[in-house]
């Protein structure tokens, strides 16, 4: 059947079909145009991101030769785009085996993982100065999985690294000062203790002997009575001076070490405040630098005095144990406890050698103080401090 033989109805049907197809094609065309428009918009958007990003963006070929950079890279490195394109990214590394090694490790990791996030690197600017950067990188691949290059984003962290280093330096200075303070105080205490023992103690002793000699020659019972009383007072003074000497600077601390000194301290606290102490020690060696030893001893003493003064407790348990390269000491009482919100030790001004002072000094030597207490439920205070390191002693000056 040829066209001439088509009926009018047939022709009209074909015409309608053709119209529908044209309409569909037009719709498709609109969609393509829209997609094209979107692609253009995306391209402009990406170009804007690329050009205005504060982070530097660098694109390289598979061999590391730079093919594209954004303006932020120019600002960071001081090179123009023209100077950077064609340069190998390796040339941005400063000279030196340390940097070379890091660079090689970086490429190996990138090839293995495909992406690297947040790696810190040092690069060299055009003027020769160094810049520290935070680097993210990813491999670029085509549809067949072939590597076509890499894209990296870099952020200048030179100032941040400088501030970090400064902070570490200040912390070190602070630690050193805190440690010097503890040592100076201790040395003052020792000087005072020696003076008390060598001068006042000695003089009192001579006075006592002289009085006793006098006592033997006196006939009057009245005077004898007075002299005996005076001798009694002097004997008490001698005892007081001796215990004050020990309290100021317990020789046992240096002769027998921390735990033996604690035993002595418990006895003192028992005599003074009537506190019963049980002591648990894991018996592991806990070598301590002098300043830490003194600080912990003074710290435990203060905690026990606190129990005596504030806790109304019948019993205290002190434990010492080693936790890796730290010493952990806990002082736990069954007294009235206290509400931490009533005693905010972090904002408390340093008055004397209280909880705040111990916390502050421990912080400075790389230790910690934890308080675990509730009103009515006793108190548990934990002191943590670093042990003496194996090879080097902590810097104290």
Ligand X SMILES: Nc1ncnc2c1ncn2[C@@H]1O[C@H](COP(=O)(O)OP(=O)(O)O)[C@@H](O)[C@H]1O
Of residues 201 and 299, the one with the C-beta less far from Mg ion: 299
Of residues 260 and 375, the one with the C-beta less far from ligand X: 375
Question: Nearest-CA neighbor of 288 among 318, 265, 260?
Answer: 260
* Separation CA 278–CA 265 (nearest Å): 12
Which residues in 239-272 are b (16+ Cβ under 10 Å) and which e?
Answer: eebeeebbebbbebbeeeebeebbeebbebbeee
Q: How far is the CB of 77 from Mg ion (least distance, A)?
A: 58
Of residues 149 and 308, the one with the C-beta less far from ligand X: 308
Which residues in 59-71 are b (16+ Cβ under 10 Å) and which e?
Answer: bbeeeeebeebbe
Binding map of ligand X across residues 248-287, x = CB under 6 A, - = no contact: ----------------------------------------
Token pair belonging to 275: 């506190």
Of residues 56 and 308, the one with the C-beta less far from ligand X: 308
Helix (H), strand (E) at residue 232 = helix 221-248
Residues β-bridged to residue 88: 65
337 binds ligand X (CB under 6 A): yes
Stretch that binds ligand X, among 63-71, 151-159, 184-192, 337-345 (CB under 6 A): 337-345
340 binds ligand X (CB under 6 A): no
Give the three-class secondary structure for 125.
coil
Question: Nearest-CA neighbor of 355 among 317, 318, 293, 301?
Answer: 301
322 binds ligand X (CB under 6 A): no
Q: Is 274 exposed, middle or buried (0-12, 13-18, 19+ CB in 10 A)?
A: exposed
Alpha-carbon distance values, 240 to 103, 236, 261 (Å): 70, 6, 19
343 binds ligand X (CB under 6 A): yes
DSSP annotation string for 308-372 = IIII--SEEEEEEEEETTEEEEEEEE-S----TTTS-TTTS---SSSHHHHHHHHHHTT-EEEEE
Neighbour count for residue 127 (Cβ, 10 Å)? 8
* Separation CA 245–CA 196 (nearest Å): 6
Q: List the one residue from 354, 360, 366, 394 that touches Mg ion (CB under 5 A).
A: 354
* Residues that contact ligand X, how many (by CB under 6 A): 17
* Separation CA 102–CA 27 (nearest Å): 56
Stretch that binds Mg ion, among 40-48, 257-265, 301-309, 330-338 (CB under 5 A): 301-309
Angle made by CA atoms 46, 50, 56, in degrees to the nearest 5:
150
336 binds ligand X (CB under 6 A): yes
The partner in contact with residue 289, picked from Mg ion, ligand X, none with C-beta cut-offs of 5 to 8 angstroms by kind, is: none
295 binds ligand X (CB under 6 A): no
Q: List the one residue from 379, 383, 385, 387 that touches ligand X (CB under 6 A).
A: 379
Residues 90-109 that bind Mg ion (CB under 5 A): none
CB 322 within 8 A of CB 344: no
Q: How far is the CB of 331 from ligand X (least distance, A)?
A: 8
306 binds Mg ion (CB under 5 A): yes
The partner in contact with residue 379, picked from Mg ion, ligand X, none with C-beta cut-offs of 5 to 8 angstroms by kind, is: ligand X
Of residues 123 and 338, the one with the C-beta less far from ligand X: 338
Binding map of ligand X across residues 59-98, x = CB under 6 A, - = no contact: ----------------------------------------
Of residues 145 and 352, the one with the C-beta less far from ligand X: 352
Stretch that binds ligand X, among 41-49, 197-205, 225-233, 352-360 (CB under 6 A): 352-360
Which residue ranges make up the site for ligand X (CB under 6 A)?
302, 306-307, 309-311, 333, 335-338, 343, 352, 354-356, 379
Which residue ranges make up the site for Mg ion (CB under 5 A)?
306, 354
């Amino acid at each position: 059947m040829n066209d001439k033989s088509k009926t009018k109805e047939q022709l009209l049907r074909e015409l309608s079909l053709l119209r529908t197809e044209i309409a569909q094609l037009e719709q498709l065309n609109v969609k393509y145009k829209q997609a094209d428009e979107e692609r253009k918009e995306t391209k402009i958007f990406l170009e804007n991101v690329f050009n205005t990003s504060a982070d530097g963006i660098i694109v390289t070929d598979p061999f590391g030769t730079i093919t594209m950079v954004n303006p932020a890279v120019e600002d960071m490195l001081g090179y123009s785009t023209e100077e950077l394109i064609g340069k190998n990214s390796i040339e941005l590394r400063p000279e030196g085996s340390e940097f070379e090694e890091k660079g090689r490790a970086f490429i190996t990791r990138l090839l293995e993982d495909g992406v690297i996030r947040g790696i810190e690197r040092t690069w060299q600017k055009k003027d020769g100065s160094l810049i520290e950067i935070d680097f993210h990188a990813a491999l670029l691949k085509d549809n067949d999985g072939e590597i076509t290059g890499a894209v990296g984003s870099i952020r200048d962290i030179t100032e941040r690294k400088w501030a970090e280093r400064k902070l570490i330096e200040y912390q070190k200075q602070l630690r050193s000062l805190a440690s010097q303070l503890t040592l100076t105080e201790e040395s003052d205490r020792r000087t005072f203790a020696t003076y008390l023992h060598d001068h006042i103690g000695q003089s009192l002793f001579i006075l006592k002997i002289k009085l006793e000699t006098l006592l033997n020659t006196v006939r009057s019972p009245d005077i004898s009575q007075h002299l005996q009383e005076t001798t009694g007072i002097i004997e008490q003074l001698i005892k007081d001076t001796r215990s004050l000497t020990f309290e100021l600077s317990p020789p046992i601390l240096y002769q027998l070490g921390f735990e033996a000194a604690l035993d002595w301290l418990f006895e003192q606290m028992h005599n003074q405040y009537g506190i019963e102490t049980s002591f648990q020690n894991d018996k592991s060696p806990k070598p301590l630098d002098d300043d830490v030893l003194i600080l912990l001893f003074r710290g435990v003493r203060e905690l026990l005095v606190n129990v005596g003064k504030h806790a109304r407790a019948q019993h205290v348990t002190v434990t010492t144990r080693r936790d890796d390269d730290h010493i952990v000491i806990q002082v736990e009482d069954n007294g009235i406890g206290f509400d931490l919100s009533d005693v905010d030790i972090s904002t408390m001004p340093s008055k004397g050698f209280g909880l705040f002072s111990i916390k502050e000094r421990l912080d400075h030597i790389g230790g910690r103080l934890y308080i675990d207490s509730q009103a009515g439920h006793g108190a548990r205070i934990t002191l943590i401090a670093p042990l003496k390191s194996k090879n080097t002693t902590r810097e104290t000056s």
